[in-house]
Amino acid sequence: MSIWIEPIDLGVVNERSRGTLAELLKIEFVDISDNSLTARMPITPHVHQPLGIMHGGASCVLAETVGSTAANYCVDQSTHYCVGLDINTNHIRSIRGGFVLAMATPYHRGRSTQVWHIEIVNEHSKIISINRLTMAVLSRHAESA
């Protein structure tokens, strides 16, 4: 059974990333299943730190991008939206080139919070980082009050 409240069209999701940090880092959503969303990011000098390996912040941006997008498709977007509260990242392995894939799957989807697991792997499926993202679920009606 699918976790998605709204149907996800990867073309639409990628289009929504235009003009954002996700586009700047060339993050592309590439796969969806009944309970996960996956994005790809190339590892180029644009995401390196001075030692020539992927910057930890780029890993966090990728994790929050895919987790936040997934979270927002798990709520009725006409009445609610999700924003990041906390992200925790454990860097397991460095990477200098190629690409990484980030897959977001939910630990918890509640009325006021969601918690997501995002695993980032290289093109050989070796773990680069493990991430936990906590999202706040907010009411659109509270904005106008």
* Rg value, the chain, Cα: 15
Known catalytic residue at 64: yes
Among the options 64, 119, 123, 143, which is catalytic? 64
Closest C-alpha among 81, 79, 80, 82 to residue 115: 82
What size, in residues, is the chain? 145
Residues annotated as catalytic are: 64
